[in-house]
Amino acid sequence: MKKQKLLVWGNVFLFLLFFVSAFSGLVLYFIFQGGSGFRGGRGVDYIFLGLAYRNWADIHNISSLIFVILAIIHFIFHWNWIKNLSKLIK
């Protein structure tokens, strides 16, 4: 696979993972408001879009981890561009 094609697919996956991570983070923050379990002594297990808190947390953690790994690889592939850009700024 050519480097250019690999970079395009990497950018597409980074884009998608960003939105999965952001959406799941917003769901965790606004819908579940910090956790699940007993709410006021009642054993309420909230469900949003068919998934419980633990499922949303897993989606968020895994997508965020893969996003960070791909972002590091992205920076490695573009390291020469980053070095040249820093020379232009000086």
Q: Note the pTM of the prediction, 2 decimals.
A: 0.77
What pLDDT is recorded for position 82?
A: 83
What pLDDT is recorded for position 35?
A: 53
Using one digit for the tens of pLDDT, what is the confidence trace for 20-32? 999 999 998 888 8
Using one digit for the tens of pLDDT, what is the confidence trace for 12-22? 999 999 999 99
Tokens (6 digits) for 39: 């709410």
Q: How confident is the model at residue 2 (pLDDT cuts 50, 70, 90)?
A: confident
Q: What gap in Å lies between CA 59 and CA 87, rounded to an integer? A: 40
* For the chain, domain boundaries: 14-34+43-89
